[in-house]
Structure 1
Amino acid sequence: MLFHVTMEVKLPPDMPATEANDIKTRERDYAQKLMRDGKWPHIWRVAGRYANVSIFDVADGDELHTLLSGLPLFPYMDIKVTALARHPSAI
């Protein structure tokens, strides 16, 4: 099942740089594992914002929630999810 997911990161302005850098490193490693596993086949940066637009390919909403909540930056994200269905005009 495909999901369109938008994520915007809002780190606290007073978070120490070392802590922020550690979280970002763990985030990258986790995200790249999901990409290699085929669960996160597409990610695009939103220009001018600390945000992305992504496509996830997972079994269902429960699996998506598990993967998203495992993101190290999850506590600092505003996430919007849209389930996708095949368009009848698609070839």
Structure 2
Amino acid sequence: MLFQVQIAIRIPQGVDKTEVEKLSAAEIEQVKQLQRDGRWLHIWRVAGKWANTSILDLQGPEELHQIISSLPLFPYMEVDVIPLSRHPAAL
């Protein structure tokens, strides 16, 4: 099942910058592994924001929730999910 996932990171004031950098580096490695596994198909940065739009190919919403909630920056995320299905005009 395909999902379009839009993630924006919102770090509150007062959070330790070094900790945020550490979480961000760990998250990049986790997403790269999910890409190697074939589950995180695409990731694009939203220009000018700490945000991305991604396409994931997963078994269902439960797997999506497990993956997103396991990301190191999850406590600071605003997440929007759009389930996708094939369009009849798609080749």
TM-score (ref. length: structure 1):
0.96
Q: Which runs of 5+ in 1 are unaligned?
A: none
Aligned to 1:30: 30
Aligned to 2:70: 70
Shift of residue 66 of structure 1?
A: 0.5
Secondary structure of the residue that 2:54 maps to in structure 1?
Answer: strand
Q: Distance in 1 between matches of 2:82 and 2:29?
A: 25
The one-letter code matched in structure 2 to 1:46 is V
Q: Which runs of 5+ in 2 are unaligned?
A: none
Q: Distance in 1 between matches of 2:86 and 2:59?
A: 15
What is the identity percentage for the equivalent residue pairs of Structure 1 and Structure 2?
A: 46
Q: Trace 1:6-85 onto structure 2 (pairs within 5 A).
A: 6-85=6-85
Q: Distance in 2 between matches of 1:18 and 1:52?
A: 22
Q: Distance in 1 between matches of 2:18 and 2:50?
A: 18
Aligned to 1:3: 3
Secondary structure of the residue that 1:26 maps to in structure 2?
Answer: helix
Provide, for residues 42-70 of structure 1, a one-character-per-residue CA deviation record: whole Å limited to 9, x for no partner: 00000011000000000111111100011
| Deviation >4 Å, runs of 4+ | none
